Structure 1
Amino acid sequence: MQLNIFGEKIEGITYQKRLGVYAVIFNFKKDRVAAVKTTNGHYFLPGGGIEKDEKFEECLRREVLEEIGYEISIRTYIGNAMMHFISTKNEPILSNSYFFTAQLGEKILEPIEEDHFFEWITMEEIEKRLVHDHHIWGVKEGLKIYNVED
């Protein structure tokens, strides 16, 4: 199994490991993907960090609900990818992320995270808009799964 590692690992720096799970949610035509835009203009896939003793699926449902206010049904495991990066708070992070395709369900509430806004971005925009390369990888791999299932 291939290990998908993105970003530049700078020697001599200790990276804080963060375990996370993210949803790749396509619209019906599969020409747009759900994204979360923050107030600083950064785009991410819906999802985030796993809390103590939380299962991947539980975390993904919670994070999507908090960030965009929707229920989801989790469909297919895409894979695992990691990325080295320096956060906006100047912290060296090694994001160890698991990606799943999911289907958007019912809107349950307004997003809890006030600096997060739900947007559909086109497939042509993913490389320009999504901040993290491993998120771009997740979208491309997720699209391959849908193309096989259709």
Structure 2
Amino acid sequence: MPIITFGVKEEGKEYIWRPAAYILMLNKEKDNIAVIQTADGKYFLPGGGIENNESHEECLIREALEEMGMQIQVGRYIGCAQRYFYSTNEYKYFLSEGHFYQCEIGEQTGNPTEEDHFLRWIEPAKAIESLFHEHQSWAVVKSLHD
């Protein structure tokens, strides 16, 4: 099955492939989804780049602690999608390959270590329209309809 791809690959640009794993987590009432708001006001799903030889699960667990200060239980795999984009923070072109997982809230173990990341709980419809990366919005839609 081909991977769904968002964004446009610009001719003559060199893209850095960045595999990543992301968390889709609904609260107990199932009416709000966890998102991370960065200091510049952008919204992202919790998660991020896979480091070294991490498994998807190891990446998700590490990112949950870094960004939300909580443990999670990794659940079902939702799917994979990718996005071509230019990072205005790093001044580089990336092909982000996101692997998305439904996760359950675990124990709050402390404060997030990433000081410019803030956990927000918002309605899925708002998340879909507000997430910075289109492949993350795609994953929210897919998780709600599977």
TM-score (norm 2): 0.95
Give the aligned partner of residue 136 of structure 1: 137
What is aligned with 2:79?
Answer: 79
> How far does the alpha carbon of each residue in 1:76-116 deviate from its partner, in whole angstroms, 9 at most, with x for none?
00111100011123211100110000011110010000000
Structure 2 residue runs of 5 or longer lacking an equivalent are none
Listed one character per residue, the Cα deviations across residues 63-82 of structure 1 (whole Å, up to 9, x for unaligned) are: 01100111100110011110
Task: Pick which of 30-39 and 108-117 moved more.
Answer: 30-39
| Corresponding residue of 1:94 | 95
Say yes or no: does 1:6 pair with 2:6: yes
Q: CA RMSD in A?
A: 1.1
Give the CA deviation at 1:32.
1.4
Identify the residue that residue 148 of structure 1 maps to in structure 2: none
More displaced 10-residue stretch of structure 1: 23-32 or 100-109: 23-32
For 2:145 and 2:27, how far apart are their aligned partners in 1? 15
Question: d(CA) in 1 for partners of 2:33 and 2:128?
Answer: 12
SS at match of 1:67: helix
TM-superposed CA distance for 1:28, in Å, is 2.2
Residues 39-74 of structure 1: per-residue CA shift (max 9 Å, x gap): 000110000111111111011000011001111001
Alpha-carbon distance in structure 2 between the residues aligned to 1:81 and 1:11: 21
Q: Aligned partner of 1:8: which letter?
A: V
Aligned equivalents of 1:102, 1:76: Cα separation in 2: 7
> Which residue is 1:118 aligned to?
119
Q: Which runs of 5+ in 1 are unaligned?
A: 146-150
Q: Which amino acid aligns with 2:17?
A: K
Checking the alignment, whether the CA contact within 8 Å between 2:37 and 2:44 is kept in structure 1 is yes
Provide the C-alpha distance between the structure 1 equivalents of 2:129 and 2:136, rounded to a whole number of angstroms. Answer: 12
Per the alignment, residue 47 of structure 2 pairs with 47
Between the two proteins, what is the percent identity of the paired residues? 43
Equivalent residue pairs, number: 145
Please list every run of at least 4 consecutive aligned residues from structure 1 whose deviation after the TM superposition is greater than 3 angstroms: none
TM, length-normalised to structure 1: 0.92
Matched with 1:35 is 35
